[in-house]
Amino acid sequence: MFHSNPDHWTDSQRQRRRHVRHDIHCRARIRIANRQYAGYLHNISQVGAKLRTITPIGRIGSVFLRLPDLPPLQCELKWSDHYNAGVMFGTALADDQLLAWLKSRRAWGSEVEIEAQP
């Protein structure tokens, strides 16, 4: 484990978050230099996301995150724990941009599940 896994955080650690996280399940791709990792987005906020990758990521640093219907997002891989990873966006998503993207994901039916977490 490279950084602490948010699944193991206490309630007080979770309360430090400033941005609402939205649970969602959709395809994602992380690019680190010339290597790409396929996976799924688990949740997203204006400033970051949690992903589950098909292969483990062993290097913390600068990455690009590709999500359906969004331009590539420059991110910092903040933690990686086997097949889970957390990224922080280089530039925060505008609230209206994030909400519009989430709404468009709902239109895809049962493959996408969205739920807000405080």
* In contact, 24 and 107? CB cutoff 8 Å: no
Sign of CA dihedral 72, 52, 93, 89: negative
Where exactly are the structural domains of the chain? Answer: 15-117
0.85 exceeded by pTM: no
Is a pLDDT exceeding 60 seen at residue 111? no
Query: 15-117, what's its fold?
Result: Thrombin, subunit H (2.40.10)
Cα Dmax for the chain: 38
pLDDT at 116 over 60: no
Gap between the Cα atoms of 28 and 24, Å rounded: 11
* Residue 33 to residue 101: CA distance in whole angstroms: 27
Cβ-in-10-Å burial (0-12, 13-18, 19+) of 2 comes to middle
Please report, to the nearest 10 degrees, the dihedral formed by the alpha carbons of residues 54, 97, 44, 27 taken in order: -20
The whole-number average pLDDT for the span 49-66 is 88
Residue 105: how many CA atoms within 13 Å on its side-chain side?
A: 25
Q: In the predicted model, what is the mean pLDDT of residues 95-109?
A: 82
pLDDT at 105 (0 to 100):
83
For the chain, the average pLDDT equals 81
Q: What is the pLDDT at residue 106?
A: 74
Angle at 50 between CA 47 and CA 55, to 5 degrees: 135
